[in-house]
């Protein structure tokens, strides 16, 4: 849709869906409304994430594709870290612990929507009337690059799923605290390291990003297994550190590998395909690990999930190392 009518309208519709989902969560009276709210928020992210990434490339002031990927990764790190830290404070110390955080999130979404409203159009196609839903995909000649990028970015998202789905419970066990802020702060190390590496390692090449990200992800997953086994706070903090580093490098490296090879007019569709795969894996892993942890214990979920994600990470490195990042003709002309 964003390739056809520009990024602004899909982003605004996505933000509206996210706002509606947040409103459902803020006013929920039954557990069913939590699911309804999450559905609307998922629709919102699905409509806005791809166009937002494509817009970062279109409005890139530096002319370097890696700059857009860096800004994208940094934005996610800041949002994730703020959610963990501020969310923990609000839940633990503010009034209305199950409501106030969602009202604040709603205000943030409205502010972002007002900024998105002022974005210029990025497409020369004026009519929405002739648009039809199309396949999310990519040019066949870049299929190996797409697969490698999808594996690397998906690994980053799955690391986030492990941190968010099991991290709070592991933190509660190894920290031994029922304080939401303390546990949130322990998990936020993932986002803090993610953001720090994103900002400081902006000039690292694509292949080096992927290689270092893979090494960090394997180290982080190994430490997570040790933390679950020994209930070690030091191991857990080390795991969060390495996985935060891995998320930054793998997300940025995988995305840069792809956008540098993409024609401008197909970036929205192709980036959306990457997000589709990454979010489906993230959701599947989070749900599966939750089921495993509930049925067989937290350690079993970690021992099952960590090696599988490490294998996924290594597959992305293997394929990515065989490819040469290439710059699309359109990007070079720009």
pTM: 0.73
The predicted structure's pLDDT at residue 150: 87
Integer Cα distance of 255 and 258 in angstroms: 5
pLDDT at 319: 84
What is the spatial distance between Cα 161 and Cα 190, in angstroms, rounded to a whole number?
12
Q: What are all long-range contacts of 19-23, with beta carbons under 8 Å and residues at least 24 apart?
A: 19/44, 19/106, 19/109, 19/110, 19/113, 20/44, 22/102, 22/105, 22/106, 22/109, 23/102, 23/106
Average pLDDT over residues 43-71: 76
Tokens found for residue 69: 């990927």
What local confidence, expressed as pLDDT, does residue 333 receive?
35
SS3 322: coil
- The pLDDT value recorded for residue 41 is 93
Phi-psi map region of 133: left, alpha, beta (phi>0 left; psi -120 to 50 alpha): beta
What is residue 3's predicted lDDT score, i.e. its pLDDT? Answer: 65
Mean pLDDT of 145-170: 84
pLDDT at 261: 67
Using the predicted structure, report yes or no on whether residue 80 has a pLDDT greater than 90.
Answer: no
Q: What is the mean pLDDT of residues 199-218?
A: 82
Nearest to 289 by CA among 221, 234, 238: 221
Using CA atoms, how far apart are residues 64 and 87, in angstroms rounded to an integer? 35
Q: Which residues contact 131 (CB under 8 A, 6 or more apart)?
A: 1, 4, 5
pLDDT band (50, 70, 90) for residue 327: very low
**Among the listed ranges 49-58, 63-72, 77-86, which one has the minimum average pLDDT value?**
63-72
Residue 63 has pLDDT above 90, yes or no: no
Q: What stretches of the chain adopt beta strand conformation (E)?
A: none
Query: What does the pLDDT read at residue 35?
Result: 94
Q: Delineate the domains of the chain, giving CATH numbers in brackets.
A: 2-118+139-327 (1.20.1250.20)
Q: pLDDT at position 127, please?
A: 56
Closest CA to 160 of 133, 190, 202: 190
CA distances from 160 to 145, 250, 333 (A): 23, 12, 36
Find the DSSP H helices in 94-232: 100-116, 143-175, 180-200, 206-230
Provide the pLDDT for residue 232.
83
**What is the chain's mean pLDDT, rounded?**
81
Contact 265, 329 (CB under 8 A): no
Q: Are 152 and 213 in contact (CB under 8 A)?
A: yes
- Cα 239 to Cα 187: distance, rounded to the nearest angstrom: 10
Quick one: pLDDT at residue 131?
A: 58
Most confident of 22-26, 67-71, 180-184, 321-325: 22-26
How much is the pLDDT for 14?
Answer: 93
Q: How confident is the model at residue 114 (pLDDT cuts 50, 70, 90)?
A: very high
Instruction: State which of 26-30, 173-177, 193-197 shows the largest mean pLDDT.
Output: 26-30
């Amino acid at each position: 849709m964003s390739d056809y009518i520009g990024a602004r309208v899909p982003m605004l519709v996505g933000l509206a869906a996210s706002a509606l989902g947040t409103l459902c969560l803020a006013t929920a009276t039954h557990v069913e409304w939590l699911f309804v709210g999450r559905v609307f928020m998922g629709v919102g992210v699905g409509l806005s994430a791809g166009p937002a990434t494509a817009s970062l490339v279109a409005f890139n002031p530096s002319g370097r594709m890696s700059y857009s990927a860096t800004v994208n990764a940094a934005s996610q790190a800041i949002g994730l870290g703020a959610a963990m830290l501020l969310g923990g404070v609000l839940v633990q110390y503010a009034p209305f612990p199950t409501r106030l955080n969602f009202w604040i999130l709603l205000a943030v979404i409205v502010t972002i929507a007002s900024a998105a409203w002022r974005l210029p159009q990025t497409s020369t196609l004026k009519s929405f009337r002739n648009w039809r839903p199309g396949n999310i995909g990519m040019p066949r000649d870049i299929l190996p690059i797409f697969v490698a990028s999808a594996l690397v970015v998906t690994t980053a998202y799955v690391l986030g799923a492990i941190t968010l789905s099991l991290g709070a419970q592991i933190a509660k066990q190894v920290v031994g605290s029922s304080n939401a802020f303390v546990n949130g702060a322990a998990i936020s190390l993932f986002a803090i390291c993610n953001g720090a590496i994103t900002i400081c390692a902006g000039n690292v090449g694509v292949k080096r990003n992927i290689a270092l990200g893979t090494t960090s992800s394997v180290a982080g997953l190994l430490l997570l297994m040790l933390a679950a086994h020994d209930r070690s706070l030091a191991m857990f903090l080390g795991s969060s550190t390495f996985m935060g580093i891995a998320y930054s490098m793998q997300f940025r490296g995988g995305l840069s590998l792809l956008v540098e090879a993409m024609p401008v007019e197909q970036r929205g569709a192709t980036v959306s395909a990457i997000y589709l795969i990454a979010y489906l894996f993230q959701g599947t892993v989070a749900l599966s690990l939750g089921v495993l942890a509930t049925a067989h214990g937290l350690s079993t979920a970690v021992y099952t999930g960590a090696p599988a994600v490490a294998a996924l990470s290594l597959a992305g490195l293997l394929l990515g190392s065989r490819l040469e990042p290439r710059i699309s003709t359109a990007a070079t002309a720009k």
